[in-house]
Amino acid sequence: MWSVLWAAVRSKAPYVTFPVAFVVGLVGSQLEWFLRGDPPSTAQEEKSISEQREDRKLQEIVGEDVTKVVSLKDKLEFAPRAVLNRNRPEKS
């Protein structure tokens, strides 16, 4: 008799487990919403990380003169260090 009962429970487990899990999730969600309150209205209006990065870079260069840059000829770190420095010009 017990084996028949356990076989029935095993075969019907998904039909019982899903509604129970759904109700537990729904109650947990409502409880979390009740404890935390309404989400802030700016959550939907937040900028993406790339937009925040672009804004930060723009703020950094606001006071700078972007037309004055170092020449690539003067900048030795631009060229990778070659083997035995054969291809690197000597700066006097």
SS3 content of the chain, % helix, strand, coil (to 5): 60, 0, 40
pTM (two decimals): 0.37
Residue 92: strand, helix, or coil: coil
List, for residues 22-81, the tens digit of each pLDDT value.
Answer: 999 999 999 998 888 876 655 557 788 899 999 998 998 888 887 888 777 776 655 555
Domain ranges of the chain: 1-38+51-77
Both structure tokens of 15:
């039909």
